[in-house]
Amino acid sequence: MAVKITYANTPVSRLHPMTKIMAILMLGLCALVWPDFTLGLVLVIALFVVSFVARIPSDFVKIMFGFGIPVTVMLMFIQGLYSPKNQTVIADFGFAQLGLEGVLYAAKIVMDLLVFLGSFTIMSKTTYTGALVAALTSAGLNAKAGYLILASLNVVPQMQRRMSVIREAQNARGLSESGGLFSRLAAYVPLLGPVVMSSLTDAQERGMTLETRGFGITDVKQTSYVEVRWRTVDKVCNWVLVIMAVIVTAISVGIYIGVIPALTPWAGA
Amino acid sequence: MGAIVEVKDFSFKYRDARRRAVKHVNFSVEEGSLFAIIGANGAGKSTLCNALVGLIPHYFSGARAGKILVDGSDVADSTIAELSKTIGLVFQNPFNQLSYTAGTVAEELAYGLGNHGVPRDKMVERVETVAKLMRIDHILDKNPLELSGGQVQRVAFGSTFIMEPRILVLDECTTQLDPMGSEEIFDIVKKLNASGVTVIMVDHDMERVARYADTVMVLERGEVASIGTPMEVFSDDSIEQHGVDVPDYVSLSRALGGPIVITEEPAIEMAKEALR
Amino acid sequence: MTVELRDLEHIYPSGDIALAGVTLTLEGTDPVAIIGQNGAGKTTLVKHFNGILRPTSGSVLIDGVDVTSHTTAEWSRTVGYIFQNPDDQLFLESVRKEFGFGPKHIGMDSDVIEQRIGTVAELVGLSHKLDTHPFDLTPTEKKFCAIGAVLMMDPSVVIFDEPTCGQDRKGTARLSHIISSLRESGKLCVIISHDMKFVTMNCPRIVVLCHGTVLLDGPADEVFAQPDILRRSFITPPPITRVGQGAGLKETVFSVPAFINAIATERNARG
């Protein structure tokens, strides 16, 4: 008997949640410390590959482009046209000039953000929240904090269910939701009272039932039904991530203080 | 065997309430027995359940007097979570008994065990046993939010007794179940009771109370109106004045003019006799 | 008032088949009980009577009108539905306002509303609580408040979903009183319940559902005379009935007086 696998069983979903958190932190760190956008770009491309391995490419592409394109346009506009660093004009629109330095800087910020967003997306789409919290708890996260994470993730679906029941009950009392936008919105007002009220009383009652099930015992270490395995591959991944971060940081520092010449001077380091 | 629960001159008034929910209640429950509390709505049954597991005074504030001893120690000196090692409560509303942190029924069942630090292999074993017993083994992978009322009630019951409390308090725990489903649950209760678990149950089904309880206590407006064996309590003519029903077998045996019977089998015998 | 179901099927989006072809006609004023095991489809069935749920196939006709031709809100003046949890249905700041809400919505005359508030409050036992906030009512009173709010619309069909859940002796007696007075005023009550005592005391006709189909349908004494079939839907006859069956009584009885009568009849018949 196993916990239902809600996620496609792939090498990525099988990783320990802490490995994935480590990946977010280390990859993000690498992109951040690197003096220009090039490493970030390499990592983003790598994340696209990972999303294929994790069998979530369409979700991943949607999020990356949905966020990436507007942010890129916005930053290019602000930094490219108005950055004080701008010296080299690459295009002249008449009313403003596009500067190379600003564009490169914008590219760096966008790549840094995409590395964080991309690795976080892969983690959240391939990790069962219960497993994440179990891993965090066994790593020393407070049981109450763990509860808060899980409970707040459940608030929305619960409210939705509640809302639909209450809507049925109110319709049965003659409350109509048809008509124009305004009358439909107005029809929602009577729903709010019961939804809020019942959520409050439910939350109160739930708080007390949790304690009768041992929530808040202080003298024992909590265990979890959800199994998270720490395998050799996790060990390897963690070491690789840490070593990579150390090397990247060392090179970056070298470049900053001038010991190492810029590897990609064209990219605006 | 001695008393495992002792309630001594216990009174409680919820904050903001006009009158006391229970007043000067005295009773004790023998270890390993099945103790039933009956009474009209508002008589104080749920208040007593809350007090037994420590929700009063640790959760509900108000004016309180007297003492409740569970396994010899005052509930006021412990915490609710600590008490959960000894005494478990199945609430009236099963929907609010779920932790809402579990993605599956299996995790929901295991929730209390996790809080008690039970190792995972033992946990898995217990979940499997309890799920089979409660006949919810086919929904172990389901999201608890998607269950029907009857299923939630089974999960709520299972998630309490999986913690193996020495005392099990049941506050109308089968209201959502069909007749045979309720019977099934009470068969399990009876088995747990036979294995030594002390059971305190609140129920409106008098036939069930008469069939299962060793002792029945009638509450009326927060006070103990009567206490004794089911036979003593239900054969009392005045018992219905306290707002409770009696098993139909009692009225039937009265109408047939025979000795009072409170359970099905003797009632059938009596009816056969009358038919002859 | 006639509720006619023709080959009614309902399949939930999850793919679960809740109703697998129900053909049934409910009419007249005799209260009808819908019973059956958990998950048999009882609530799904009655949620079609006012269009909360739409049939996957088949049809529901209320006095010959297809239920899908109007919204649930429009049906509320014809078909009243009392939910199991009153908290879902109440949302105003006093019992009086709860009672007045529905009728005002359908354009009932304000004098009529005032008059109805008096009678309905009397019927559900809330005459002295009309200005109380529903939130301050006891759980039992809340349930009666929800019943009152639905009855205020004067619907011809009234559906009760598990009305006895959480009720004590007094509450159950009041429910019986409400149902019998609705019957007298020509309404059709449909009651979903697990409480066999309540069902047999109040409903002459019983419909037993099992896995989304009708297992048994008929007068209470005929339905409960078949305990073996009832078991298939996890139903056991009420205590008195079981005693009668156990003792070999030919008639199916539901009350002590009926039991005594039946004994006398059988003994007389034997001479």
DSSP state string for C126-186: -GGGTTS-GGGS-HHHHHHHHHHHHHTT--SEEEEESTTTT--HHHHHHHHHHHHHHHHTT
Mutation to test the B interface, candidates C88, C132, C168, most B Cβ within 10 Å:
C168
Q: Do A225 and B116 touch (CB under 8 A)?
A: no
**Of the given ranges (A172-176, B177-181, C44-48, C166-170), which has the lowest mean pLDDT?**
A172-176
Q: In what order do the strands lie in the sheet with C2-11?
A: C17-27, C2-11, C57-62, C65-66
Percentage of chain C lying above the pLDDT 70 cut: 100
- What pLDDT sits at residue A184? 67
- What pLDDT sits at residue A3? 37
**Of the given ranges (A45-59, A120-134, C170-184, C228-242), which has the lowest mean pLDDT?**
A120-134
pLDDT in tens, B161-182: 999 999 999 999 998 899 999 9
Note whether B145 contacts C: Cβ–Cβ < 8 A.
Answer: no
ipTM of the complex: 0.89
For B37, phi and psi rounded to 5 degrees? Answer: -115, 125
Residues A8 and A120 in one domain: yes
| Cα C263 to Cα A69: distance, rounded to the nearest angstrom | 86
| Rounded (10°) angle between helices C239-247 and C256-270 | 20
- pLDDT for residue B142 is more than 60: yes
| Cα C82 to Cα B224: distance, rounded to the nearest angstrom | 35
Q: What is the largest CA-CA distance in chain B?
A: 62
Note whether A198 contacts B: Cβ–Cβ < 8 A.
Answer: no
- pLDDT for residue C195 is more than 70: yes
Please list the residues that pair with A92 across neighbouring strands.
Answer: A97
Residues A35 and A56 in one domain: yes
Note whether C244 contacts B: Cβ–Cβ < 8 A.
Answer: yes
A169, A177, A197 ranked by CB distance to C83: nearest: A169
Q: Considering its fold, how many domains does chain A have in total?
A: 2
Q: Do B107 and A6 touch (CB under 8 A)?
A: no
Task: Looking at the complex, report in whole angstroms how far the Cα of residue A175 sits from the nearest Cα belonging to chain C.
Answer: 5
Residues A24 and A104 in one domain: yes
Which domains can be identified in chain C, with CATH numbers? 1-78+155-223 (3.40.50.300), 92-151 (no CATH), 238-271 (no CATH)
Residues A10 and A122 in one domain: yes
Residues A58 and A153 in one domain: no
Percentage of chain B lying above the pLDDT 90 cut: 84
Residues A237 and A122 in one domain: yes
- What pLDDT sits at residue A101? 87
- What pLDDT sits at residue A5? 43
- What pLDDT sits at residue B103? 85
Sign of CA dihedral A195, A197, A198, A202: positive
B81, B93, B117 ranked by CB distance to A223: nearest: B117
Residues A110 and A48 in one domain: yes
Structure tokens given for C226? 């078949």
Kindly write down the DSSP assignment for every residue of B57-101, as one continuous string: HHTS-EEEEEEEEETTEEGGGS-HHHHTTTEEEE-S-GGGGS-S-
B partners (3+ CB pairs within 8 A) are: A, C
| Cα A124 to Cα B271: distance, rounded to the nearest angstrom | 67
Is A41 part of a structural domain of the chain? yes
C partners (3+ CB pairs within 8 A) are: A, B
Which residue positions in chain A have pLDDT lower than 50? 1-5
Note whether A232 contacts B: Cβ–Cβ < 8 A.
Answer: no
Mutation to test the A interface, candidates C62, C82, C88, C158, most A Cβ within 10 Å:
C88
Percentage of chain C lying above the pLDDT 90 cut: 83
Is A263 part of a structural domain of the chain? no
Task: Looking at the complex, report in whole angstroms how far the Cα of residue C24 sits from the nearest Cα belonging to chain B.
Answer: 22
A partners (3+ CB pairs within 8 A) are: B, C
Query: Which of the two residues, A223 and C44, has the higher pLDDT score?
Result: C44
* Radius of gyration from C-alpha coordinates of chain B: 19
Residues A195 and A146 in one domain: yes
Please answer whether residues B81 and A219 qualify as being in contact, where contact means their C-beta atoms are separated by less than 8 angstroms.
Answer: no
Is A173 part of a structural domain of the chain? yes
C104-114 burial by CB neighbour count: b if 16+ within 10 A, else e? ebeebeeeebe
| Cα B135 to Cα A204: distance, rounded to the nearest angstrom | 30
Please answer whether residues B25 and B10 qualify as being in contact, where contact means their C-beta atoms are separated by less than 8 angstroms.
Answer: yes
Which residues have CB under 8 Å from C80's CB, separation 6+?
A172, C150, C151, C153, C155, C157, C158, C159
Residue A134 three-state SS? helix
Helices (H), B137-243: 149-161, 179-194, 206-212, 230-234
pLDDT in tens, B53-80: 999 999 998 999 999 999 999 999 999 9
The chain A residue lying nearest B128, using CA atoms, is A1
Query: Which of the two residues, B45 and A223, has the higher pLDDT score?
Result: B45
Q: What is the mean pLDDT of residues C237-264?
A: 95
Q: Do C88 and A178 touch (CB under 8 A)?
A: no
Which domains can be identified in chain B, with CATH numbers? 1-86+165-230 (3.40.50.300)
The chain C residue lying nearest A165, using CA atoms, is C88
- Residue-averaged pLDDT of chain B: 93
Residues A238 and A116 in one domain: yes
Q: What is the mean pLDDT of residues C234-261?
A: 95
Please answer whether residues C236 and C230 qualify as being in contact, where contact means their C-beta atoms are separated by less than 8 angstroms.
Answer: yes
Note whether C263 contacts B: Cβ–Cβ < 8 A.
Answer: yes
| Rounded (10°) angle between helices A143-171 and A129-138 | 150
B178, B180, B249 ranked by CB distance to C239: nearest: B249
Chain C contacts in chain B segment 153-212 (CB below 8 A): 172, 175-183, 204, 207
Please answer whether residues B90 and B75 qualify as being in contact, where contact means their C-beta atoms are separated by less than 8 angstroms.
Answer: no
Peptide bond into C139 cis (omega under 30): no
Residues A100 and A158 in one domain: no
Mutation to test the A interface, candidates C72, C101, C108, most A Cβ within 10 Å:
C72
Note whether B63 contacts C: Cβ–Cβ < 8 A.
Answer: no
Q: What domain range includes position A173?
A: 133-215+222-227
Residues A137 and A120 in one domain: no
Helix, strand, coil in percent for chain B, rounding step 5: 45, 25, 35
- Residue-averaged pLDDT of chain C: 94
| Cα C73 to Cα C150: distance, rounded to the nearest angstrom | 12
| Cα B270 to Cα A195: distance, rounded to the nearest angstrom | 54
Q: State the first-to-last Cα distance of chain A, in angstroms, to the nearest integer.
A: 54
Q: What is the mean pLDDT of residues B237-262?
A: 93
Please answer whether residues C98 and C132 qualify as being in contact, where contact means their C-beta atoms are separated by less than 8 angstroms.
Answer: no
- What pLDDT sits at residue C198? 96
Residues A33 and A145 in one domain: no
- pLDDT for residue C263 is more than 90: yes
- What pLDDT sits at residue A4? 39
